Amino acid sequence: MDEVKLPHQWKKRYLGELGYIKGRIGWRGLAQSEYTEYGPFLIAGKHIKNGKIDWLRADHITKDRYEESLEIALEIGDIIFSKDGTLGNPAFIDYLPDKATINGTMMLVRSLNKYDLYPKFLYYSIDSRQFKKLIYEKVSGSSIPHLFQRDMKNFKIVLPPLNEQKKIANVLSTWDQAIDLNEKKLQVEKRVLAQIINTLTKKNNFINTKYDPISIDKCALFVNGYAFQSDCYEDQGEYNIVTIGNVQDGELNINSQTKKVSKLPVNINKHQILSKDDIIISMTGNVGRVCVVNKSNLLLNQRVGKFIVEPNIDKSYFYYSLRSKRFLSKMIAKAQGGAQPNLSTKDIKNYYINIPEYKKQVIIGKYLNLLDKKINLLKNEVDLLKVQKKGLMQQLLIGKIRVQP
């Protein structure tokens, strides 16, 4: 972080002077086979989401194993984060359903004196841009990313007076609550949409019409992606290559890690150059995930398939039929048997969709699309809140924006 002039009474202190910092040293022979159904919780980075522990997904160990390392037993007000692999992703411990500890990939930080360092303020400092910069500096070029306790002890935090620490933490907590509330709304809307999709894409009591089972082969032309070679990938390029990892359930995830090329391969087929509103599917790994293309300059990679829907089939109705639980379950079942789940073209083309008359297809497709747009608007609102909170947090933590007394 660039040096900035701090407000009066604000200081920079080493975390080692203010905090208790511990990580598990080794496992003392603990194997995953020793995990239990009940007992003290064992927390890993995969159990953290949006700064909170998902206790329902956490692992458990025996009381004896827990008591072997009481120096990392969790307390209310602790902060934990990943110190190995994917670094950071902190969580604030504001609730403990039972005894809990951390696994070998995690680190614990605790305020030694809550009158010097307010725990929730410490959490936001560890979630800050400054801390992410520390991580980058320490692990850049390392084949195995790892943060040591000494790195944390030498981490400098900007420390306002205690009263202002509390006010800053309260402001940021308000943003977190708004984000959490909207994310819960988003999950509810997604579940509702999934239920309605499953109902309206088969014979039901709401629409008085006949549904005919028709194979995908009769509804759409199915085509495969281009076999890109890894040595042609570039950091900067005009075209993004859509792989199975980009295809989420109902969402195309193009990000900074997406592979790129500058030029179109000379032998690429026209159908492998994606257009907006194309329907694509993952065929390997997490098979059966379907989404609609919503960006330009995208190329279809191998193991990602594309549907070119026939004119007598409503495209939206066809898409949401593939978003049904029935379709996903069938594709997952078909893909089993190998070391890695794989769908064949035949598996997909032989699946039967329940098709009503065309006018009813259009009505159902438009209705489901309307619900989907509502979800996208809510998702955009959540994303905006996160961006706003991130910017505000950076300014609050260095005193560029002050909290009124």
If residue 92 lies in a helix (H) or strand (E), which one and from where to where?
strand 88-92
Paired with 305 in beta bridges are 224, 281
**Of residues 97, 16, 31, 102, the one with CA closest to residue 66:** 102
- CA torsion sign for 343, 345, 346, 350 is positive
The confidence score (pLDDT) of residue 281 equals 98
Name the residue ranges covered by the structural domains of the chain: 11-159, 212-355
Q: Which conformational region is residue 202 in: left (phi greater than 0), alpha (psi within -120 to 50 degrees), or beta?
A: beta
The confidence score (pLDDT) of residue 97 equals 97
Q: Which residues make Cβ contacts (< 8 Å) with residue 187, sequence separation at least 6?
A: none
For the domain 212-355, what is the CATH code?
Answer: 3.90.220.20
Distance, CA of 351 to chain centre: 30
* 11-159 and 212-355 in the same fold: yes
Residue type at position 364:
I
Q: Is residue 42 helix, strand or coil? A: strand
Q: How many CB atoms lie within 10 A of CB 127?
A: 23
The confidence score (pLDDT) of residue 141 equals 62
**Of residues 242, 247, 245, the one with CA closest to residue 261:** 242
List of the chain residues with pLDDT < 50: 1
The confidence score (pLDDT) of residue 405 equals 64
Residue type at position 192:
V
The confidence score (pLDDT) of residue 1 equals 44
Query: CATH 3.90.220.20: does it fit domain 11-159?
Result: yes
The confidence score (pLDDT) of residue 28 equals 64
pLDDT in tens, 323-342: 999 999 999 999 987 789 99
The confidence score (pLDDT) of residue 145 equals 77
Residue type at position 204:
N
Q: Within 13 A of 374's CA, how many CA atoms are on the CB side?
A: 15
The confidence score (pLDDT) of residue 3 equals 65
